[in-house]
Amino acid sequence: MSFLRFILAIFFLVSINFGVSNAHYKLTPTFYDCTCPNVIHIVRDVMEQIQRRDVRAGAKIIRLHFHDCFVNGCDGSILLNNATGIISEKDANPNVGAGGFDIVDEIKTALENECPGVVSCADILALASEIGVVLAGGPSWQVPLGRRDSLTANRSGANSDIPSPTETLAVMIPQFTRKGMDLTDLVALSGAHTFGRARCRTFNQRLFNFSGSGRPDPTIDSNYLKTLQRLCPQGGNGGTFANLDKSTPDEFDNYYFTNLKNHQGLLQTDQELFSTSGSSTISIVTNYANNQHKFFDDFVCSMIKLGNISPLTGTNGEIRKDCKRI
């Protein structure tokens, strides 16, 4: 009987230790130093090539990273195609029309040629996001690495957890707090809209019939409203692109926040940050509009925080050879 107890005790200790090793596995910028030491150089080289032919590359990738992390954590689930047992997040409402998947594939191919089976697709999204920001003139940071890729996707989670461009601030705040993010994170990460584009269908409800009123959103500057109405006429092509930042659309800076103060935010979710009466986000927007250095510092902290949402590590998940399939 004592021998049986001994065996059970050993089994229990091994099980606990195995679980702890995964639970306490920390992401670190040096994760690939031995297994793929050129990982940052490779990702940067590909991003630089793509950026020369597609100025929206950085904005596309950072959107994918954000939408990935807000659904089951940063695990590359957004990249999976439909397959047996996989209901793709690509077809979820917030991801329809999203770009950047081809960029991920191009980076993955380059990494597989150099260090096959080593770098996860989830880490590619995190690394390429930082590099895309830097290439557009934004801040740099050391990206914690060591994420692994999911074995499944969660379309229903994508539909419920990712803020839509027509959300009110009251809806967005709990969407962020449920992920461990606060108001500073909400405003700072929204600042990623300082570059990139959005289609007319994501904001045209503000231009003619806001909230069923039969009138435009009263928080839009009148001259900016006329510009948007010409670009996105009622009943027109909802696929037409508009600049998320009217001032410096391809540069990563703090003009996005200046635009909000001037009531020239493109999406409802943008302008809500400044125009929601009594909200604590107003002072954060004002601070960032006046102090780009503060915005950059907070953005870096929030991006690292975003990238740490429930990553798969240790022996969980896998390293995909093709980011589109398990």
Per residue in 81-110, pLDDT (tens digit) is 999 999 999 999 999 989 999 999 999 999
Rg (CA), the chain: 21
Q: Is residue 89 a known part of a binding site?
A: yes
Say yes or no to pLDDT of 18 above 80: no
DSSP 71: T
CATH of domain 38-160: 1.10.520.10
Residue 242 phi, psi dihedral angles, 5° rounding: -125, 150
Q: Distance from first CA to last CA of the chain, Å, rounded?
A: 45
163-305: which CATH topology?
A: Peroxidase; domain 2 (1.10.420)
Q: Is residue 236 a known part of a binding site?
A: no
Residue ranges, CATH 1.10.520.10, the chain: 38-160
Per residue in 195-246, pLDDT (tens digit) is 999 999 999 999 999 999 999 999 999 999 999 999 999 988 899 999 999 9
**Taken in order 148, 150, 155, 157, is the CA torsion positive or negative?**
negative
pTM of the model: 0.91
The CA distance from 64 to 125, in Å, is 7
Per residue in 23-54, pLDDT (tens digit) is 457 999 999 999 999 999 999 999 999 999 99
Q: Is residue 253 a known part of a binding site?
A: yes
Q: Is residue 149 a known part of a binding site?
A: no
List, by residue number, the catalytic residues. Answer: 67
Q: Which of 112, 120, 68 is nearest to 94 (CA)?
A: 68
Q: Is residue 161 a known part of a binding site?
A: no
Q: Is residue 75 a known part of a binding site?
A: yes
The CA distance from 294 to 289, in Å, is 9
Tokens 């975003």 correspond to what residue?
306
Residue ranges, CATH 1.10.420.10, the chain: 163-305
